[in-house]
Amino acid sequence: MTDAAELRDRTQELLTAHPPARLSPPPSTEGPAGPPPSSATIDRLDFLKARFDAGLAWVHYPEGLGGLGAPRSLQAVVDAELESAGAPDNDPRRIGIGLGMAAPTILGFGTEEQKRRFLRPLWVGEEVWCQLFSEPGAGSDLAALGTRAVREGDSWVVNGQKVWTSSAHVARWAILIARTDADVPKHRGITYFICDMTDPGVEVRPLRQITGEAEFNEVFLTDVRIPDSHRLGEIGDGWRVAQTTLMNERVSIGGMRIPREGGMIGPVSKTWRERPELRTHDLHQRLLTLWVEAEVARLTGERLRQQLVAGQPGPEGSGLKLAFARLNQEISGLEVELLGEEGLLYDDWTMRRPELVDFTGREAGYRYLRSKGNSIEGGTSEVLLNIVAERVLGLPAEPRTDKDVAWKDLAR
């Protein structure tokens, strides 16, 4: 059994072979290129690949797949050693869908060939992933999806439309669920695939949001061919596979590790301290309440991550994601009230195509508008309330009249 001491030794061996002081910076996307790195410089990507191969990417994964089969809790030992040495990370916010959703699903249901093909370039950031789940007619009721996949020999031909797809405009791969049998109830007859976003039948169109940017996309799939070797899980068992993705997604959204006063509560607390002329008694009481609730949510997230050491995420992650959405919206609303007219402004109202969203690095007006999407993305708050009620609190399930009706016979 790998212990903390062994992990520290392995991490030091990695740092000795790839000293962070000699690492080249990531390539710039703006301005002229700088001087070429010297022959003694170690490439950042090479360092990340070496870390993966040493089993220090996610230590609880199996050997050969970026891990050592160690307890998940020991990842903190590796991360602390690397952070102290100034080593680069894999830019987890940029590849969050791959790390938080695709990777655990591939690990749980993929073949050995799939795991070895996809996990390493996913973790080091060579390949960005997106999620093709929601549809215009099947958002909150995801199981009602209508995108069809028809078997033709060793391939599947996929036709349909997906929506609200973050990072589709930069993604190399997508996790996709499609209907493969319309003669069974909606939760059956769904199959889970890995889709090549460079296929000529994949069309990505931007969706302009209330913030002015186009972080989300709609994706049209026209005769997209997916080899059966890119299927995850059994045919017709896609809903069960998708539950692994969804549970991990909600933990990754609502249970991110942040410091005290991290996230949305940080900027408004800073403004309160630095701008005493804006304070009122009413706002003070509301800020105190939200500060406490944000800290409770942060500590609850720490507890949930400790529980993950013992197994896969459960429905409790839905509760955290609920709290995340509500707190972000209430905190950003308070900040706009605190700043008055100043809080309504922000400096970049253009159709940007960002790879990722920065909630805290922008103005209050942006945070206020962008947080409105938090109660939709990753599962709507209404759906998550049902999950918490039924699977956490044990309350009776809502009546479902379509449970045993074939998908083709459902009213749409």
pLDDT digits (tens, 9 = 90+) for 91-139: 988 898 999 899 999 999 999 999 999 999 999 999 999 999 999 988 6
Catalytic positions are 249
The predicted-structure confidence for 318-343, as pLDDT tens digits, reads as follows: 788 888 899 999 999 999 999 998 88
Q: What token pair was written down for 404?
A: 């045993």
What is the distance between the alpha carbons of residues 145 and 148, in angstroms, rounded to a whole number?
9
Residue bearing the bigger pLDDT, 377 or 83: 83
Average pLDDT along the chain: 87
- Pairing mode of beta strands 173-179, 202-207: unpaired
Q: How far apart are CA 121 and CA 107, in angstroms?
A: 14
Residue 96 lies in a domain: no
Task: With CA atoms as reference, report the closest residue to 158 among 176, 175, 185.
Answer: 176
pLDDT of res. 308: 62
Q: Is the pLDDT of residue 29 over 90?
A: no
pLDDT in the model for residue 149: 98
Q: Note down the domain range covering 47.
A: 1-29+41-89
Is the pLDDT at 34 greater than 90? The verdict is no
Structure tokens at 40: 């003694």
Predicted local confidence at residue 80, as pLDDT: 94
- For residue 359, what pLDDT is reported? 66
Helix axis angle, 281-308 to 238-254, nearest 10°? 130
Determine the average pLDDT of the residues in 198-209: 94
Q: What is the pLDDT of residues 212-257, one digit of tens each?
A: 888 889 999 999 999 999 999 999 999 999 998 987 776 666 556 6
Residue 153 belongs to a domain = no
For residue 85, being part of any structural domain is answered with yes
* Domain count within the chain: 2
The verdict on residue 190 lying in a domain is: no
Minimal CA–CA distance to 132: which of 197, 79, 75? 197
> What pLDDT shows up at residue 334?
96
**Closest to 331 in 3D by CA, of 259, 377, 271, 278:** 271
pLDDT in tens, 11-21: 999 999 998 87
In a domain, 170, yes or no: no
Decide: 357 and 209 in contact? Cβ < 8 Å.
Answer: no
Confidence at residue 309, expressed as pLDDT on a 0 to 100 scale? 59
Alpha-carbon distance of 79 to 240, in angstroms, equals 32
pLDDT in tens, 159-181: 999 998 989 999 999 999 999 99
Is residue 82 domain-resident?
Answer: yes
* Per-residue pLDDT tens over the stretch 335-376: 999 999 888 887 766 667 776 666 667 789 989 998 988 888
Tell me the sheet residues that pair with 160.
Answer: 221
* Residue 255 forms part of a structural domain: yes
Residue-level length of the chain: 412
Residue 62 lies in a domain: yes
User: What pLDDT is stored for residue 31 in this prediction?
Assistant: 43
Read off the CATH number of the domain in which 322 is found.
1.20.140.10
